Structure 1
Amino acid sequence: MSVPLRDVLRNVVKEKLARDEVVASMIVRLVRTVEIARIAASAGFDTLYIDVEHSSISLDAAGQICIAALGAGIAPFVRVPGLAPATIGRVLDGGALGIIAPHIRSAEDARKVVAAAKFPPYGERSANAGLPHLQYRNYPTDEANAALNDATLVAVMIETLEALDKVEEIAAVDGVDLLLVGTNDLTAEMGIPGRYDEPRVRAAFERIIAAARANGRHVGIGGLASRPDLTAEFVRMGARFVSTGTDLAFLMAGAAAKARQVAEIKL
């Protein structure tokens, strides 16, 4: 039976961003099995992203989690370890609906990421049939490639002073959807690691949000899981994608709370 592409391929994050809604994201660094996708969906997250840059999670495990997330109705992304087109292509073919690219320092870096993530005429991604995003069905190549181009989210990280200095140029790159601020790395480069209340941090967010708005892009907040007050402030300023923390941090927080609860029982 023929199933229309629109019924099998959706990216709920791109849809929410298009409606100017706030997206909640969870980082996966610890769990290597598919249960984490269903947990994230049941908890109410719109997306998870598997952090292959800062963990030893394999591309195979990342692909399995992505496929489970597709089935659970949330959008799976992968933060790749670098900008190599081969890695970006494998991650997307494995089931990711988007990539998060670190170490972006220029518009040229952003263009390379878009080229690796998008099929022609917008990029150089190699065609592949029967992808998990399409439920392993085969569609006409032109139809499938166009739909995948539309559904695939490209996020570039603004986490260096060089990227901040060139953020207007980066935001202008066609095919970039999201500028994700890596607040920890950015404050480290500023010489104020972890000092999120510094005026320079707020000024950086203001500049990034302004550049994104001027070019029809969105802004994401990373590294501020411990500061819900600042997260809320930057959302009110215009950021719409919130990276809420890691699976490891959630597990540690829950476990520590239960241990304290028992330790505090009065005899």
Structure 2
Amino acid sequence: MNNEAPLLRNHAKEKLSRGETVYSMTVRLVRTVDIASIAYTAGFDSIYIDMEHSSFSLEAAGQICLASNHLGVTPLVRVPGLDPSFIARVMDSGAMGIIVPGVESAEEARALVRAVKHAPLGERSLAGAAPQLHYRTLPADQVVRELDSASMVVPMIESQAGLDAVEAIASVDGVDMILVGANDLSVELGVAGQMDHPRVHEAYLQVIKACQANGKSVGIGGLGGRPDLIRKYLDLGAGYVSTGNDISFLSGAAAQKRQQFE
């Protein structure tokens, strides 16, 4: 057994394992590394770069991941779907984890694990010197151990089918956290935008119960405008909070500043 201290740390993953709350901001607008420093200065534990709902390039995402890693801000990337080759390229560019939207089965969750992790848990190709490890030249088995131990696998629940399969998804070995996408989920449940609707509440309770039974973390998404609901689900056992994105932060601050001059 190797007892050496790890070279690579995922600070968000460590906080979640200690039962501490992780606060994240989503990046959809800013394409430069400055956003990593802004997130750090603002006190965020994590950022997630949204490549599902943006025109982000892989190069820009990778540069922000690198900058975030140097600051101890955990960079996760939401990819458009379960494309193993693209997920591998995102991880090889410096991401510390992958978020996949709309997961609806345990098999899809296992496919995500296979795309993020190396053998024996996964099937990802070993790229060699990794940006997460500052391009150190290390034995292959150590690189695999470091990367796979630190990386996060995060399926999103955004549909009734996903809810129906959430217990099976939460039981998949290698899944670290399930993130509830309340916006799309509320649409799917027929209560679009009604974040305090009983059906949304029951969905959150269902995900929290499944994750607690399987030792997985729960992420709160889509509730950035409702801190009261965020607090409620944190009290019920959730651990990761997606607080909002850079577009809404900039727009909100700009509108507030303009109103000062009325």
Question: Residue 93 of structure 1: CA displacement?
Answer: 0.3
Residues 7 and 146, structure 2, Cα contact 8 Å, conserved in 1: no
SS of 1:243's equivalent in the other structure is strand
1:25-45 superposed Cα distances (whole Å, 9 cap, x missing partner): 000000000000011011100
TM-aligned CA deviation for residue 144 of structure 1:
1.1
| Alpha-carbon contact 1:158-1:179 (below 8 Å) kept | yes
Displacement of 1:163 in angstroms is 0.4
Corresponding residue SS for 1:15:
helix
Q: What residue is the counterpart of 1:90 in the other structure?
A: 89
Indicate if the aligned counterparts of 2:6 and 2:146 stay in contact, CA closer than 8 A.
no
CA distance in 2, matches of 1:29, 1:8: 30
Which residue type is aligned with residue 96 of structure 1? A
Q: Distance in 2 between matches of 1:8 and 1:246?
A: 30
Superposition deviation, residue 7 in structure 1:
6.1
Q: List structure 1 segments (4+ residues) > 2 angstroms apart after TM superposition.
A: 4-8
Q: Which residue of 2 aligns with 1:150?
A: 149
Cα displacement (A) at 1:8: 3.8
Aligned partners of 1:157 and 1:180 also within 8 Å: yes
Using a 3 Å threshold, how does the CA distance of structure 1 residues 248 and 169 change in structure 2: closer, same or farther?
A: same
Which residue is equivalent to 2:160?
Answer: 161
Contact 1:27 1:243 in 2 (8 A): yes
* Equivalent position of 1:198 in the other structure: 197
Distance in 1 of aligned mates of 2:76 and 2:194: 28
The number of residues matched between the two structures is 260
Structure 2: gaps of 5 or more residues: none
TM-score (norm 2): 0.97
Q: 1:189 and 1:144 mapped to 2: Cα distance?
A: 41
8 A contact 1:25–1:241 mirrored in 2: yes
- Indicate the percent of aligned positions where both proteins have the same amino acid: 54
Residue 233 of structure 2 is matched in structure 1 by 234
Return the letter of the residue paired with 1:229.
D
**What is the root-mean-square deviation in Å for CA atoms of aligned residues?**
1.1
Mapped to 2, the partners of 1:16 and 1:230 lie a distance apart of 21
Q: Residues 211 and 174 from structure 1, CA distance in 2 versus in 1: closer, same or farther, beyond 3 angstroms?
A: same
- Tell me the residue number matched to 1:101: 100
| TM-score when normalising by structure 1 | 0.96
- Cα distance between partner residues in 2 of 1:146 and 1:30: 34
SS in 2 for 1:176: coil
Residues 93, 131 of structure 2: 8 Å contact kept: yes
1:251 is aligned with what amino acid? Answer: L
In structure 1, distance between residues paired with 2:158 and 2:228: 21
| Partner SS for 1:262 | coil
